[in-house]
A and B are shown apart, each in its own frame.
Chain A
Amino acid sequence: MNTVLVVAIMAVFGVTALLCVVRIWRGPSILDRTVASDVLLTEVMCVLGADMAINGHTRNIPVMLIIAAVSVFGSIAVARYVARRDNPTP
């Protein structure tokens, strides 16, 4: 039972990462790629937490904390400095 659940968890996480990479690969604009990489980073955080819960230790908490605090800056920096396609001239 436990083995089946662990294998299912690993499969779901793997498919999630694969779909995010597909969106990063194909995304038409850079904002799509930013959103997809944000989801991928959150999924890395979830995998670290799942590792802690399954193996019964708490060593990854600092890594999760740092990722949760810092991941916002990537999206904000890209969204701030992305080139504007339309330059409105009134």
Chain B
Amino acid sequence: MTVQSFFDLALPAPVAEIITLVLILLGAILCLSAAVGLLHFRDVPSRLHAATKPQVLGVVLICLAIAVSQRTIGGMLMGVLIVIPVILLQFATAPLSAHMVGRQAYRNGTINQRSLVADEYDESKRTPPAVG
């Protein structure tokens, strides 16, 4: 088997379509769970918790669907290659914005203080640094 014929191996069209649609549906349901969490939770950090994680996995699933929809093995490799920058950027920027919004929510006083189990930021403000 030559390399070219290996890259031309293809999934049957109905199978590829079903896999693609199921992956997109899973990604859409993850986005929906993020939105439901936005409405359900009470303060900003728990809303961030609901919003940040599922949407990243949803983007990954939909990018996988884009790769599978190319059908041939060479096309799938090409699809993964063009989709990897999107996933890497999403992985890099989602924690950044979550960190900034969460820190500002803490300073702003829009979080429920009694819902915190440990508050290291407050303790580090009360004890001066390098005290021992």
Q: Report which A residues bind B (CB closer than 8 A).
A: 1-2, 5-6, 8-9, 12-13, 15-17, 19-20, 22-23, 28-29, 31-32, 34-36, 38-39, 42-43, 45-46, 49-50, 52-54, 56, 58, 61, 64-65, 68-69, 71-72, 75-76, 78-80, 82, 84-86
Q: A9 and B25: CB pair below 8 A? A: yes
- Is B63 in the interface zone, CB < 8 Å from A? yes
Known: A9-B25, A45-B59, A72-B93. A50 touches B65 (CB 8 A): yes
Q: A58 and B79: CB pair below 8 A? A: yes
- Is B101 in the interface zone, CB < 8 Å from A? yes
Count: A-B pairs, CB below 8 Å: 163
User: Interface range on chain B: under 10, 10 to 19, 20 to 34, or 35 or more?
Assistant: 35 or more
Instruction: For the complex of A and B, list the 5 residue pairs with the smallest distance between their C-beta atoms, beginning with the closest.
Output: A75-B97, A19-B35, A72-B93, A49-B62, A68-B89
Majority DSSP secondary structure for residues of B touching A:
helix
The residues of A that contact B32 with a CB separation of less than 8 Å are 12, 15-16, 19
Please give me the residue from chain A that is nearest to B97 by CB atom: A75
- Is B80 in the interface zone, CB < 8 Å from A? no
- A17 and B32 CA atoms in complex are apart in Å by 8
Known: A61-B82, A69-B89. A42 touches B62 (CB 8 A): no
The residues of A that contact B101 with a CB separation of less than 8 Å are 31, 34-35, 75, 78-79
Q: Report which B residues bind A (CB closer than 8 A).
A: 17-18, 20-25, 27-29, 31-32, 34-36, 38-39, 44, 47-48, 51, 55, 58-59, 62-63, 65-66, 68-69, 79, 82-83, 85-86, 89-90, 93-94, 96-97, 100-101, 103-105, 107-110
- What are 11 A-B pairs with beta-carbon distances under 8 A? A15-B32, A16-B32, A23-B35, A35-B51, A36-B47, A42-B34, A42-B55, A45-B86, A49-B24, A54-B21, A61-B83
